[in-house]
Amino acid sequence: MAAKKDSETQSRRDFLNLTVGAMGAVGVGSGLVPLIDTMNPAADTLAMATTEVDLSGIEVGQTRVVKWQGKPVFIKRRTEEEIAQAIADDEADLRDPQKDSDRTQKPEWLIVVGVCTHLGCIPQGSKGGQPKGDYEGWFCPCHGSHYDTSGRLRAGPAPKNLPVPPYEFLSDTVVKIG
């Protein structure tokens, strides 16, 4: 009789241990799922991951400024002279050397993030009447960095060229940035 009581007590104890263990696992799992879910990007961030831009309204020599991931992006339709100057400057003594062909997919279109690599100011030169600096590209008014027609650093305290975002041409008149 005592053996039956011990085995009954043992099976109840096993059942309670399994039940408590299962409930604990469910509790930990239900606490971890929302925690891990908070690490996913927010919907507004995902919405800004890419942007499509219609290029058909940009005239030769004009620059359009669009926002991508909260930063300005300069889309410049370069003139033949600007393209020729950028290619000629490939051999210049550059702090951050890059060929113009490495920075553009189509020579006519230059697409760069419009944030100075020194302290994050927005360079001028995208609108008519703004100073373009000594190299006819962009000029950062905060600390005097000068960029050429390919967005390469030519003078000033900035350490690098204006960055080229990932982009692809969806057609002759539409580009997807991001």
Tell whether 60 and 17 lie within a shared domain: no
Kindly tell me if the per-residue pLDDT of 1 is higher than 60: no
**CATH no. for residue 52?**
2.102.10.10
**Structure confidence by residue, pLDDT tens digits, 113-140:** 999 999 889 999 888 888 888 998 999 9
Q: Which DSSP state fits 124?
A: B
Tell whether 166 and 110 lie within a shared domain: yes
Tell whether 8 and 71 lie within a shared domain: no
Tell whether 22 and 56 lie within a shared domain: no
Q: How many residues does the chain have?
A: 178
Q: Is there a contact between 122 and 115 (Cβ–Cβ < 8 Å)?
A: yes
Residue among 38, 75, 81 at smallest CA distance from 59:
75
Domain of residue 162, residue span: 46-177
Tell whether 56 and 35 lie within a shared domain: no
Tell whether 74 and 130 lie within a shared domain: yes
**Structure confidence by residue, pLDDT tens digits, 138-166:** 999 999 999 999 999 999 999 999 999 99
Q: Active-site residue among 95, 106, 143, 160?
A: 143
The yes-or-no answer on residue 146 being catalytic is: no
Residue 132 pLDDT? 87
The band of 24, judged by pLDDT with boundaries at 50, 70 and 90, is confident
Three-state SS at 176: strand
Tell whether 125 and 140 lie within a shared domain: yes
Tell whether 76 and 116 lie within a shared domain: yes
Tell whether 115 and 166 lie within a shared domain: yes
**Structure confidence by residue, pLDDT tens digits, 49-107:** 888 999 999 999 999 999 998 899 999 999 999 999 999 999 888 989 999 999 999 99
Tell whether 10 and 76 lie within a shared domain: no
Kindly tell me if the per-residue pLDDT of 4 is higher than 80: no
Residue 107 pLDDT? 94
More confident residue, 76 or 41: 76
CA–CA gap between residue 145 and residue 135 (Å, rounded): 11
Tell whether 66 and 154 lie within a shared domain: yes
Number of domains in the chain: 2
